[in-house]
Amino acid sequence: MTKPTKTPKPHASSSSKPHKATKPRKPTPPPTPKGTKPQGEANKSAREKSPQAWGLTKAPKKEYDSPLPTNKGDAQNASQAHLDRFQNAIHNQGKHPKEAAESAGDSKYTKLKGAKNQYEIRLDGGNRATFTVDEDNKMVHLHQAGGHT
């Protein structure tokens, strides 16, 4: 005669359901330091962040009537820095071109006579930047940098 075999009882912590494989978790990005923008936000222009902001386009360099002087003297650097401040105020901060000219420094924002929506700013004593302003679409199109209009 054979003795019946006892089956061992499962432990209290184990269950009869098969173990389900879990997906590996994606690493979480490190916390952003206080006062800084999340990665990717810093590279967005003000126009991408807000449709109410101003944008900037430029004519191809071959269309510029007279580019800024090519010598690397202090005058050229100052003119280029002034133009950069003006463009960045529009493109990155979404400012109206008049506000951008004021924030760039001594610009003398002037509407050109006989031309519709065409303006200029002074970069230095002899150089100007000429552009058109599209108020409806909030766009500035830079036509010329350097020379005198």
Counting Cα atoms < 13 Å in the Cβ hemisphere of 16 gives: 1
Mean pLDDT on 138-146 = 91
Distance separating the N- and C-terminal Cα atoms of the chain: 117
CA atoms within 13 A on the CB side of 136: 1
In-domain check, residue 83:
yes
pLDDT at 116 over 70: yes
> Residue 126 — very low, low, confident or very high, per pLDDT cuts 50/70/90?
confident
Domain assignment of residue 8, yes or no = no
Partners of 122 in beta bridges: 128
Number of domains, the chain: 1
Strands in the chain per DSSP E: 55-58, 110-111, 118-122, 128-134, 139-145
> Is 118 within a domain?
yes
| 62 occurs within a structural domain | yes
Band of pLDDT at residue 145, cut at 50, 70 and 90:
confident
Q: Which of 77, 66, 63 is nearest to 145 (CA)?
A: 66
Between 86 and 23, name the one with better pLDDT.
Answer: 86
CATH code for position 96: 3.30.2310
Q: Is residue 61 part of a domain?
A: yes
Residue 94 within a domain: yes
| pLDDT tens readout for residues 14-61 | 555 555 666 666 666 555 555 445 444 444 555 555 657 888 888 776
On whether residue 34 sits in a domain, the answer given is: no
Give the confidence band of 122 by pLDDT, cuts at 50, 70, 90: very high
pTM exceeds 0.75 for this model? no
Whether 38 is in a domain gets the answer no
Which residue range(s) make up the domain with 104?
47-145
